[in-house]
Structure 1
Amino acid sequence: MKKYAVIVAGGSGLRMGTAVPKQFLPLRGKPVLWHSLNTFLAAWPELEIILVLPQDHVHTGKEIVATTSHPARIRITVGGETRFHSVKNGLDCINEPSIVFVHDAVRCLISTNLIHRCYEAALEKGNAIPAIQPIDSLRIETETGNHMLDRQQVRIIQTPQTFYSDLIKKAFEQPFNPAFTDEASVVEKSGIAIQLIEGEASNIKITRPLDILLAEKILEENERR
């Protein structure tokens, strides 16, 4: 089946504390975004990427795309006001039945193994959302105070969130809701049950300066194997 990856690169870098958006920061000599793009390009020779960028950074994105292994398989579109609108803009570029991966550009340590597992699970169940179990103790704050959560019943959600194209495109016909924090929440609101698969602890999201240091170390270890 046809495969598309909608890679969303709309971060501003505010939490990173840098003038450069985090998706463009250097990581072992290449921009963070480059690592994400090249991993998806390596997953299948027929996979195509729709890269969603802020209007002000399209030129920088084009320069990065030109350095990837297969720039002809990447097209760029402009993001919207929120993640929901940015993803919708990317989905609007897809006009054929396919499996669609929606991925945060700053999860640059994604593996082809996880991409393949998401694909197989989505083919079988209609969607596949990678998730990992937290290792920390968890508490939730309520009107009556804070209370312990059973971490065995909690999952930390990752990307790529993977769907049949008709399923996710229909879900994104809904009006925007501030409660939509990811694609799974949009699809769930449309009445579809969400299917979780095991994610990867190394599939971290680059958000703070410490994350860059951790990503550098993980890449260094991967290169030694």
Structure 2
Amino acid sequence: MKMKCTAIVLAAGKGKRMNSDVPKQYLFLEDKPVLYYSLQVFQDSFIDEIVLVTSESDVEYCRNKIVEKYGFDKVHSIVAGGKERYHSVFAGIMAAGECDYIFIHDGARPFVTAQILQRAYECVIQHGACVVGMPSKDTVKLANEDGFASLTPDRDLVWMIQTPQVFSFSLIKRAYMSLIEEEEALVSRGIKITDDAMVVETFTDKKVKLVEGRYENIKITTPEDLKIAVTFLGKDDNSR
């Protein structure tokens, strides 16, 4: 039996590193905004519903210029995010109706594919928690506080993490509720929550499985990324 799946697509970032007054997710890639491409993949997939999370000031823009314009009828809610990424994810979780699995995706990653979603779906059914990523092509160094290399982890064990990150709904909701309850203590200890897997790892005993994405599944963060994305768009066959 097909399980009910909801996608939370995050589009609340300001994109300071893009050096643009326009948030990165709304910049045009060819003739459509960056956000369009990931929404279209979810729209055409087995995903049942989409919650779009944006900044409060952009809710109506997203509704009129993206969701309605391009006919994304799986988007059942457009909600305002928060100060940090995890605030935005929490807002999306609370806006989601009851479902079996939640797919959390960065709207600034336009090259997610149907194949990635399928692999993640199969993985989360088996393990309950998984994140998309790819093995690192480069040697990675961990630095100390003075900027000197302190550790070189085995490259075979290093993955570059992407999105979507996929979890059973009950697991991710419980983990995020614990995070919000203990947020002040975490901040006072200087702990930074950087992704959803870290929330699950911190507040539950559930292990998160890594599942292969694709190297092209980049996040548009800098002007250079936008140039690379144009190249990918020209040759992309969505076959991986």
TM-score normalised by L of structure 2: 0.88
**In the comparison of the two structures, how many residue pairs are matched?**
224
How far residue 117 of structure 1 moved from its aligned partner, in angstroms, is: 0.8
Seen in structure 2, the aligned counterparts of structure 1 residues 141 and 94 have a Cα distance that, compared at 3 Å, is same
Could you tell me which residue of structure 2 aligns to residue 100 of structure 1? Answer: 102
Q: Kindly report the root-mean-square deviation, in angstroms, between the aligned alpha carbons of the 2 structures.
A: 1.8
CA displacement, residues 130-178 of structure 1 (integer Å, 9 cap, x when unaligned): 1111112221112584133321121111100001100100001112244
Contact residue 113 and residue 238 of structure 2 kept, 8 A? no
1:110-125 to structure 2, matched below 5 A, reads 110-125=112-127
The structure 1 segments of at least 4 consecutive aligned residues displaced by more than 3 Å after TM superposition are none
SS in structure 2 opposite 1:4?
strand
Aligned to 1:134: 136
Q: What one-letter code is carried by the residue in structure 1 that aligns with 2:196?
A: E
Distance 2:156 2:163 in 1: 21
| Match of residue 198, structure 1, among 197, 206, 212 | 212
Contact map agreement 1:38 1:69 (CA 8 A) in 2: no
Question: 1:37·1:68 contact (CA, 8 Å) conserved in 2?
Answer: no
In the alignment, is residue 34 of structure 1 matched against residue 36 of structure 2?
yes
Q: What is the CA-CA distance between 1:93 and the residue it aligns to?
A: 1.5
> 1:149 is matched with which residue?
153
What's 1:165 paired with? 169
Q: Which whole-Å CA distance do the structure 1 matches of 2:90 and 2:153 have between them? A: 34
How many angstroms apart in 2 are the aligned matches of 1:214 and 1:94? 33
Structure 2 gaps, min length 5: none
User: How much does 1:200 deviate?
Assistant: 0.8
Corresponding residue number in structure 2 for 1:61: 62
Cα distance, 1:142–1:72 mapped onto 2, change above 3 Å:
closer
CA separation in 2, counterparts of 1:86 and 1:95?
16
Greater Cα shift, 177-186 or 215-224: 215-224
Moved more, 98-107 or 130-139: 130-139
Aligned residue type for 2:18: M
In the TM superposition, what is the alpha-carbon distance from 1:196 to its structure 2 partner?
Answer: 0.8
**Shift in Å, 1:224:** 11
Q: Kindly provide the amino acid, as one letter, of the partner of residue 54 in structure 2.
A: L
Deviation at 1:98, TM superposition (A): 1.6
Change in 2 beyond 3 A, CA 1:224/1:52: closer
Change in CA separation of 1:15 and 1:210 when aligned onto 2, cut-off 3 Å: same
Equivalent position to 1:180, from 193, 199, 223? 193
Give the share of equivalent positions with the same residue, in percent: 35
